[in-house]
Amino acid sequence: MANVLAYDLGASSGRALLGRLEGNKIVTEDLHRFPNDPVQVGDRLHWDILRLYHELKQGLLKAKHQKVEVKSLAIDSWAVDFGLIGTNGELLGNPYHYRDRHTDGMMEKLFEEIPAADVFARTGIQFLAFNSIFQLYALKRARSPMLRDAQRFLMIPDLLRYFLTSEMANEFTNATTTQLYNPVLNEWDKTLLQAIGVSETLFAPVVHPGTQVGSLRPSLIEELGVGPIPVYAVAEHDTGSAVAAVPALDRSFAYLSCGTWSLMGTEVRQPVLGDLARELNFTNEGGVDGTFRLLKNIMGLWILNETRREWERAGQSYTFPELVKLAGEAPAFAAFIDPDDDAFLPPGDMPGRIRRYCERTGQKAPEQPGEVVRCILESLALKYRYVLELTERLSGQRFNGLHMVGGGIQNALLCQWSANAIAKPVWAGPAEGSAIGNLVVQWIAQGELSDIWEARKVVRDSFPVTVYEPQEREAWENAYGGFLRVAGLSRA
């Protein structure tokens, strides 16, 4: 049977997943996996975009060598980052990594020219220092020759899709994350573009998930010896794809896409643009089938991953199962952090930052690896409860539990502690949520699935969902109060 190919690019690794429909079941095959390491050059942090394009080609070659027929392909990735294309159709410089420091202070400077309330009312997007609007504003203020010579702005999946097809288009779900797209007018916001000094001609037409945007370009067909495979725009923001794969049966549901970032929210038909949403710093990102994802970004397992990297640099190597085991053996609720404190955003000495945060907030700092990891995981679980309660307040809904998808669900301890913290069931699965959402949108576009709700039922029938029931409710309720005090947060 014909397969469709999903390229799912995360902030630390990428994968090529083959999928086919057999009756009402999805069958997948892991075709190719590869690291995605940022590159520091002088003071700048970049994505290795040409290496990523090379890995896309390796996925096609592996399919060819296995004599797999690929009916179509699509790409999803993280949000906000982009490349700029010049008049000759070539990429102008390596895309900056969203953790690069060139946006430091740009948010505050822009708000001197246009009020934050106006920016939110026009976009509905959460204020994060690395949003595309602030990246472009930083380039403009720095008189970047890249921006001066640019003819097209392409986000990471747009850019890789352009490399594959020679067609340039901006996809809807990722476009909304830029904080430059107006979801009410359904177009790039001219007022905001004027405020940052960027022409609207820089932006390509916006296409929605399920749109075919070309086929493999002739030179690539000749290079790889493959056919003219159609290329689709899916929900190219990986969280958009992950939400498409949430195996929910209830039309009102809460989700947590759990990986390097944790993104928690619900699906709504219209963006929520009021003052409360802005005050709570929620975001309205585009979704599949004309929906919006009302959600909030949480720092996520980046803190654990960077902690582990720091220990490795110091000569202490631990596998993730070893760290989870040590965390389970450490004392409970000894210290908390707010995962969204600005101290935890940049790469670097994460254990030292955790220690300093605890000292600054009057707590005994964790010292042993198990204590540090327990502090991270308990704090994440408790922050999930806080954001879930905010989501209920803002959406006017009450959720019976939480759907967790993404690679983070392989951490059973985090899933169980999340259930304990929210005092509701957690339904964990599938782990490859973004890639599976990528696949199902291709099938909807091709008429193999009727709509997103049939797709979600097929996902539920195809992949195991592990149920975590809440435990130790009184202890976790007490811990929640302590967490809120340490983090300086009030109850929703």
Q: Is 59 among the domain residues? A: yes
Q: Is 347 among the domain residues? A: yes
- Average of per-residue pLDDT across 75-103: 97
Asked if 421 and 337 sit in the same domain, the reply is yes
pLDDT of residue 218: 98
Q: Is 453 among the domain residues? A: no
Asked if 225 and 325 sit in the same domain, the reply is no
Residue at which a domain ends, from 233, 259, 287: 233
Query: Are the CB atoms for 23 and 90 separated by under 8 Å?
Result: no
pTM of the model: 0.92
The residues, ordered by sequence, that sit 6+ positions from 196 with a Cβ below 8 Å of its Cβ are 110, 133, 136, 137, 140
Q: For residue 101, what is the DSSP state? A: G
- Could you count the other beta carbons within 10 Å of the beta carbon of residue 426? 27
The domain of 201 spans: 3-233
CA atoms within 13 A on the CB side of 384: 34
| Closest to 310 in 3D by CA, of 384, 376, 381, 408 | 376
Asked if 35 and 95 sit in the same domain, the reply is yes
* Per annotation, catalytic residue among 81, 238, 338, 340: 238
Asked if 219 and 252 sit in the same domain, the reply is no
Burial of 481 (0-12, 13-18, 19+ CB in 10 A): exposed
- d(C-alpha 226, C-alpha 485), whole Å: 59
pLDDT of residue 1: 63
Asked if 260 and 126 sit in the same domain, the reply is no
Which conformational region is residue 387 in: left (phi greater than 0), alpha (psi within -120 to 50 degrees), or beta? Answer: alpha
Q: How far is CA 291 from the centre of its chain?
A: 17
Asked if 184 and 74 sit in the same domain, the reply is yes
Domain count, the chain: 2
Compute φ and ψ for 46, nearest 5 degrees: -120, 160
For residue 238, indicate whether it is catalytic: yes
Residue at which a domain ends, from 187, 205, 233: 233
pLDDT of residue 492: 72
Asked if 87 and 142 sit in the same domain, the reply is yes
The residues, ordered by sequence, that sit 6+ positions from 342 with a Cβ below 8 Å of its Cβ are none
Whole-number mean pLDDT of the chain?
Answer: 96
**pLDDT, tens digit, for every residue of 167-191?**
999 999 999 999 999 999 999 999 9
Q: Is 239 among the domain residues? A: no
Q: Is 182 among the domain residues? A: yes
**pLDDT, tens digit, for every residue of 257-299?**
999 999 999 999 999 999 999 999 999 999 999 999 999 999 9
Q: Is 451 among the domain residues? A: no
Asked if 257 and 386 sit in the same domain, the reply is yes
Asked if 32 and 100 sit in the same domain, the reply is yes
Asked if 167 and 102 sit in the same domain, the reply is yes
Asked if 178 and 84 sit in the same domain, the reply is yes
pLDDT of residue 491: 86
Residue at which a domain ends, from 177, 212, 233: 233
| CATH number for 488 | 3.30.420.40
Asked if 277 and 359 sit in the same domain, the reply is yes
Compute φ and ψ for 363, nearest 5 degrees: -110, 160
**CA-CA distances (angstroms) from residue 95 to 92, 139, 336, 363?**
9, 12, 35, 40
Q: Is 442 among the domain residues? A: no
**pLDDT, tens digit, for every residue of 204-213?**
999 999 999 9
Q: Is 445 among the domain residues? A: no
22 DSSP β-pair partners: 25
